């Protein structure tokens, strides 16, 4: 690899102080590590795990302080809107992070650089690398700056709406039909029912949820559908 492979990215994101090998790991997908017979630890999965936890803490603290008047359940919804796979992938796309990814031939051939799931994982891995190198306070400011537009979007719209409404809004914005929710399994005695619901778009299931009430299961199915929507649209 070129020793200056990340020079442009360093300038773009002020990544000075982050070792080259750590950046290399953040951008190494597991498919590349397997293909090159590298250790499983050479991929970005551990950094992704760390970055996910850092994001949770940064946004939990930010939202707690920013919205002192709203209850825990609504704080959870706000945070979910920020750490959703589609949101993380949009950050990666805006920074063109995909061009730095190291992918195996299979992932490269299937358009891995544009997959929402890979880009979301990459965003988390990069944040994990920043945290290891620069500590929490620097990483907090790094994350808040990186997500500035999404944070403004959260503040300016009704993010506290339910997942079903959010999914329908996204689909309408793309000129698509609303999702269809189907109860596919009912279990348990009458006093303790468990419902399994699928959310289908254009006859294809992209989300599944479970709950003690149909509306709860539908909400979970809609949430999962939102997570999977970008990848489904790209297939």
Query: In terms of C-beta density within 10 A (0-12 exposed, 13-18 middle, 19 or more buried), how is residue 89 classed?
Result: buried
Per-residue pLDDT, averaged over 15-43, amounts to: 92
pLDDT at site 193: 86
Place of tokens 């409404």: 165
Of the candidates 21, 88, 27, 25, which has an alpha carbon nearest to the alpha carbon of residue 54?
A: 88
Of the candidates 133, 36, 54, which has an alpha carbon nearest to the alpha carbon of residue 62?
A: 54
Give the least confident one: 69-73, 87-91, 134-138.
Answer: 69-73
CA separation for the pair 213, 191 (Å, rounded): 11
Show me where the domains of the chain are located. 7-156, 163-234
Write the DSSP assignment of 61-106 as a string of letters: HHHHHH-TTS-HHHHHHHHHHHHSHHHHHHHHHHHTGGGG-B--HH
CATH tag for 7-156 (out of 1.10.1520.10, 3.30.950.10, 3.40.50.300, 3.30.750.24): 1.10.1520.10
Is this structure's pTM higher than 0.85?
no
Give the least confident one: 2-11, 188-197, 207-216.
Answer: 2-11
Of 52, 218, 224, 230, the active-site residue reads 52
Instruction: Name which CATH class applies to 163-234.
Output: alpha beta
Chain mean pLDDT for the chain:
88
Q: Is 124 a catalytic residue?
A: yes
CA separation for the pair 108, 32 (Å, rounded): 10
Per-residue pLDDT, averaged over 190-217, amounts to: 88
CA separation for the pair 24, 20 (Å, rounded): 6
CA separation for the pair 131, 48 (Å, rounded): 11
Q: How far is CA 46 from CA 24, 26, 90, 112, 125, in A?
A: 13, 9, 22, 19, 8
Contact 226, 167 (CB under 8 A): yes
For the segment 158-175, what is each residue's pLDDT rounded down to a tens digit? 555 578 888 888 888 888
Per-residue pLDDT, averaged over 56-80, amounts to: 88
Per-residue pLDDT, averaged over 23-42, amounts to: 92
Looking at the predicted structure, is the pLDDT value of residue 19 above 70? Answer: yes
- Pick from 2-11, 60-69, 186-195, 210-219 the range whose average pLDDT is largest: 60-69
Of 121, 124, 223, 231, the active-site residue reads 124
Q: Return phi, psi of residue 188, to 5°.
A: 90, 165
CA separation for the pair 197, 216 (Å, rounded): 9
Instruction: Compute the C-alpha angle 207/51/101, nearest 5°.
Output: 80
For the segment 132-161, what is each residue's pLDDT rounded down to a tens digit? 999 999 999 999 999 998 888 776 655 555
Q: Is 52 a catalytic residue?
A: yes
- Pick from 2-6, 63-67, 209-213 the range whose average pLDDT is largest: 63-67
181: tokens are 């929710």
Instruction: Compute the C-alpha angle 27/30/33, nearest 5°.
Output: 90
């Amino acid at each position: 690899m070129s020793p200056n492979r990340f020079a442009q990215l360093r300038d773009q994101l002020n990544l000075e102080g982050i070792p080259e090998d750590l950046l290399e790991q953040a951008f190494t997908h597991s498919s590349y590590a397997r293909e090159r017979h590298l250790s499983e630890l050479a991929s970005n999965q551990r950094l992704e795990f760390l970055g996910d936890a850092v994001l949770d803490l940064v946004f939990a603290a930010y939202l707690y302080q920013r919205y002192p008047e709203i209850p825990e359940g609504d704080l959870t919804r706000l945070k979910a809107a920020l750490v959703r796979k589609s949101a993380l992938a949009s950050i990666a796309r805006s920074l063109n992070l995909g061009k730095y990814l190291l992918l195996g031939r299979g992932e490269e051939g299937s358009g891995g650089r544009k997959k929402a799931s890979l880009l979301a994982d990459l965003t988390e891995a990069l944040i994990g690398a920043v945290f290891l190198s620069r500590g929490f306070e620097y990483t907090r400011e790094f994350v808040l700056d990186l997500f500035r537009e999404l944070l403004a979007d959260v503040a300016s719209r009704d993010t506290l709406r339910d997942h079903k409404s959010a999914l329908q809004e996204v689909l309408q914005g793309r000129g698509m039909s609303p999702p269809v929710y189907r109860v596919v399994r009912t279990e348990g005695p009458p006093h303790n029912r468990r419902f399994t619901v699928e959310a289908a778009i254009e006859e294809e299931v992209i989300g599944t949820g479970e709950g003690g009430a149909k509306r709860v299961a539908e909400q979970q199915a809609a949430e999962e559908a939102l997570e999977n929507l970008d990848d489904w649209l790209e297939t």
